[in-house]
Amino acid sequence: MELRHLRYFVAVAEDLNFTKAAARLRLAQPSLTRQVRNLEEEIGVRLLNRSQSRVTLTEEGRAFLADARRVLALAAESVLAVQRLSRGETGQLNIAYLSNFDFELLPETLRAFRQAFPHISLNLFDLSPAEQVRALEARKIDLGFVGLAPPESARDLRSEVIARHRTVVVLPAKHPLARRRQVKLSDLETLFFVGMSEKTHPGFRQWLNRTCQQAGFTPRVLQDAELEPALMTFVAEGLGVTLARQNLKKTPHPGVTFRPLVPPVKSDYCIAWHRHNDSPALRQYIEIVKGLAAQAH
C-alpha cells in the first residue's frame, strides 16, 4: 500500500462518485476504480458499497477514511518540515553575545529573524569573547557577536565586520581631563592605562596598542580586568584610564566619565562563525545581521 492509494480512496470517499473523484485527481476513471479495488484486496476489507446508482462507505470504510486523512496530513507535514529544514527555515540557532555590551543590533536581528523564520528556535548565550571563540571552535554555538576579530590562532573561524563604533576614553570622574568636552588621544600618553584581560578578551591589548600608536605612543597598562564592571571600577578608583566603544556609555558606571576622542577614532565590531558550519539557518541569520547593520550605517 502506497500513499497514492490512500489519496485515491479519500477522494472517492469524499465525492462518493468515481467519475468526479477521477476528474479531481486527473486520472482515468477505470484506473481509479482499479486502484481502489487493489487497495481493498491488499488490506482484505471492503471499504465501499458500489451499485449502479451510487457509492457509499461501509462501516470499515468510514473508520479507514479518518485514519487515511491523518496519515496523509502527517505525510504532508513531514514533507513541509524537511523542505523548511533544507531551506534553513527550521531547526535551531545558537547565538552568543556579551551582556555588558549594550549592542542594539542584536535584538533587532532577533526580531527580524523570528518574523522571517518562525519555525527556528533561537538560543542565546551570555559569553565573554574568549568563551565565544572556544564555543565556536567546539561547534557548541553557531554565531558569536565577538566584537574584536578572533585571534589568528582560531584558524577555523570566519569573521566579518558589521559595524564601526566610535571609541571614547573612560576617565575617573574627578580627573582633570574629565572637565574637557573632548580629549585628544595624544593627551593620554603620560597616563597609566587599565585594560581587558587576554583571558576573556583576546586581542584587546593589540587593539589598544594599535589605537594609541596612531598618536605616536604605546600605552602603559597597569592592570587588566577580566570583566567590564571590574574595568570600570579600576578606572573609578584611579588606577588608570581606558578606551572603550561608545556603546558602553549606555550602562551605568558610577565614578567614571566618558569623553569622545579628537580626531575621532573608530573600532571594528565583528561577528564570527565556524567555517565548516553549513547550516542554512546560520546563512540566513548572517544575511539579516549584515542587512540591518548596513541600514544602521
Q: For position 100, which CATH number holds? A: 3.40.190.10
pLDDT above 70 covers a percentage of the chain that reads 96
Q: Where are the alpha helices (DSSP H) in the chain?
A: 3-15, 18-25, 29-43, 59-86, 105-116, 129-137, 204-212, 228-236, 280-296
Task: Using the predicted structure, report yes or no on whether residue 103 has a pLDDT greater than 70.
Answer: no
Helices (H) and strands (E) in the chain, counts: 9, 12
Are residues 180 and 258 located together in one domain of the fold? Answer: yes
Supply the pLDDT for residue 85.
64
Cα–Cα distances (Å) from 278 to 25, 86, 167, in that order, read 39, 11, 34
Give yes or no: residues 251 and 219 share one domain: yes
* pLDDT tens string 231-272: 999 999 999 999 999 888 777 789 999 999 999 999 999 999
The CATH number that applies at residue 240 is 3.40.190.290
Q: Which residues of 55-90 are buried (b: 16+ CB within 10 A; e: fewer)?
A: bebeeebeebbeebeeeeeeeeeeeeeeebeeebbb
pLDDT at 297 > cutoff 90: no
Q: Which tens digit of pLDDT belongs to each residue from 187-221?
A: 999 999 999 999 999 999 999 999 999 999 999 99
* CA 128/CA 77 separation, integer angstroms: 40
Quick one: pLDDT at residue 88? 59
Query: Quick one: pLDDT at residue 253?
Result: 85
CA 88-90-91 angle, to 5 degrees, is 105
Answer left, alpha or beta for residue 284, where phi above 0 means left and psi between -120 and 50 means alpha. alpha
Q: Is the pLDDT at 102 greater than 70, yes or no?
A: no
For residue 51, name the pLDDT band (cuts at 50, 70, 90): confident
**Could you tell me the pLDDT band of residue 35, with boundaries at 50, 70 and 90?**
confident
Supply the range of the domain harboring residue 100.
91-144+272-296
What is the dihedral sign for C-alpha 242, 164, 149, 226? positive
Q: Do 288 and 232 share a domain, yes or no?
A: no
Residue 152 covered by a domain: no
- Residue 131 and residue 104 share a domain: yes
Cell of 274: 565556524
Q: Considering only residues 70 and 130, tell me which one the structure prediction assigns the higher pLDDT.
A: 130
Q: Give the position of cell 527550521.
A: 90
For the entire predicted model, the pTM comes to 0.70
Domain boundary among 86, 113, 134: 86
Do 186 and 44 lie in one domain? The reply is: no
Query: Does residue 89 have a pLDDT over 70?
Result: no
Specify the amino acid at residue 170: V
* 96 and 82 share one domain: no
Say yes or no: 168 and 249 in one domain. yes
Residue 80 pLDDT > 60? yes
Q: Is the pLDDT of residue 53 over 90?
A: no
Same domain, 279 and 139: yes
- Given a cut of 90, whether residue 286 has pLDDT beyond it is yes
Give the pLDDT score at 296. Answer: 77
Domain count, the chain: 3
pLDDT tens, 261-283?
Answer: 999 999 999 999 999 999 988 99
In sequence order, which residues have a C-beta less than 8 Å from that of residue 9 and are 6 or more positions away? 36, 39, 47, 64, 65, 68
In the chain, % of residues over pLDDT 90: 57
Is the pLDDT at 90 greater than 60, yes or no? no
Residue 269 near residue 164 (C-beta atoms within 8 A): yes
Asked if the structure places residue 153 within a domain, the reply is no
> Which own/partner pairs from 139-142 qualify as long-range (CB within 8 Å, at least 24 positions apart)?
139/274, 139/277, 140/94, 141/94, 141/95, 141/96, 142/93, 142/94, 142/95, 142/273, 142/274, 142/277, 142/279, 142/281, 142/282, 142/285
User: What is residue 76's predicted lDDT score, i.e. its pLDDT?
Assistant: 83
Q: Which residues pair with 30 in a beta bridge?
A: none
C-alpha cell at 157: 573561524
Backbone angles phi, psi at 153, to 5 degrees: -65, -20
The C-alpha cell that represents 48 in the structure block:
465501499
